[in-house]
Copies of this chain bind each other. A is one copy, B any other.
């Protein structure tokens, strides 16, 4: 996909893709940097930021911020709920046909076309409740 859109395929970008696109934990930039450094010790933080923004721009990632402002990256770009534990902060995705139905009903009601969504539900997870 990078090559298709005219961007170069570098080992740094591959390493970041490998980790982030397979991650289900909505990692922060810091987490991503730590992880990539183990594989690629000389990588610069600027490259991490740049690459994450690029992957977001070409639609491979979704960028969002928790209510404390911390940036997170979600490799699940299909409509889903982010269940966020108020206590431990863990985020679990939840997909269901109900969500797609709800969104398309709403879009019809609004007479607007949706170009994206980010849905956060705050809960106490099974460990914390």
Contacts and interface: CB of A to CB of B under 8 A. Distances in A.
Interface of A: 62-69, 71, 81, 83, 86, 94, 96, 98, 102-103, 105-106, 109-110, 112-126, 129
Given A69-B71, A94-B110, A105-B98, A123 B115 contact: yes
B118 A106 contact: no
B110 A83 contact: yes
Copies of this chain, complex-wide, total: 2
A106 B121 CA distance: 10
Given A67-B64, A109-B96, A119 B116 contact: no
Q: DSSP majority for the A interface?
A: mixed
Scoring A63, A102, A125 by chain B CB atoms within 10 A of each residue's CB, the highest score goes to A102
B106 A96 contact: yes
A32 to B, nearest CB: 16
18 contacts: A65-B66, A65-B67, A69-B69, A69-B71, A81-B106, A96-B106, A98-B105, A106-B121, A112-B123, A112-B124, A113-B124, A115-B123, A117-B119, A117-B120, A117-B121, A118-B120, A118-B122, A119-B120
